[in-house]
Amino acid sequence: MSETLAHSGNVDDSKRTWLIATSCAGAVGGIAAVVPFVSSFQPSEKAKAAGAAVEADISALKPGEKMTVEWRGKPVWILRRTPEQLAALSTLDPQLADPKSERKPAEQAPAYARNATRSIKPEYFVAVGICTHLGCSPSDKFQAGAQPSLPDDWQGGFFCPCHGSTFDLAGRVFKNKPAPDNLEVPPHVYLSDTRLLIGDDKKA
């Protein structure tokens, strides 16, 4: 009798150990299955390249500074313009090829950015950083004044080193330059004062 009970106790211990081991293995397997499932809610690299919206934190951007994010495989600039830079924009219209972005309005900017500053908030300028001539990326030339390859009355803007096209700080191309159009303003929306969503202007 005692031998039978002792034998039964050993069987119970074995079952208990087996159940614990099986439960642990199941839990690990469950976690391994859930992690990729949760990750699938984030846009994949392929989705980002295809045009998924990209969020940018602009809280650290100071007046006169620019940051770059990638959207659809392109560089998108976010420039925080100073009051002086904004004031200079209104004086440049006679020098620009298309000051009001009238040539290809739907391609150049969404309706809410077809204004003097080509922006939702005048302080912030958002543009695709690719020259409309042959696809080079212009360089920052924010400092006003005479500089190599720039006019003496330069008010700040962008200079394309490939073929010499120049753009003001609203991405508008100057006259008699190879670039045919202004820089593109992508769809975007402010989620808050410090968060900007690029590639989707329907979310608020």
At residue 67, what are phi and psi to the nearest 5 degrees?
-125, 160
Strand duo 166-168 + 195-198: pairing: unpaired
Residues 30 and 131 in one domain: no
Residue 4 domain flag: no
Q: Which of 58, 59, 60 is nearest to 78 (CA)?
A: 58
Confidence of residue 13 (pLDDT cuts 50, 70, 90): low
Mean pLDDT of 87-96: 94
What pLDDT sits at residue 169? 97
Residues 112 and 176 in one domain: yes
Q: How far apart are the first and last CA of the chain?
A: 76
Residues 53 and 32 in one domain: no
Cα–Cα dist 157/144, whole Å: 8
Q: Which domain does 29 fall in, by range?
A: 14-43
Cα–Cα dist 150/166, whole Å: 8
Mean pLDDT of 174-199: 96
Exactly one of 7, 133, 163, 188 is catalytic; which is it?
163
Residue 25 domain flag: yes
What pLDDT sits at residue 197? 97
Q: Coil, helix or strand for 139?
A: strand
Cα–Cα dist 169/118, whole Å: 10
The CA–CA distances, whole Å, from 55 to 33, 69, 99, 179, 185 equal 28, 9, 29, 29, 16
Residues 81 and 135 in one domain: yes
Q: Is the dihedral of CA 57, 63, 66, 71 positive or negative?
A: positive
Mean pLDDT of 40-52: 55
Residues 34 and 58 in one domain: no
Q: How many domains does the chain have?
A: 2
pLDDT 10s digits, 128-156: 999 999 889 999 999 999 998 898 999 99
Tell me the pTM.
Answer: 0.74
Residues 100 and 181 in one domain: yes
Active-site residue, 188 included: no
Which CATH number characterizes residue 80's domain? 2.102.10.10
Element (H, E) at 158: strand 157-159
Residues 32 and 62 in one domain: no
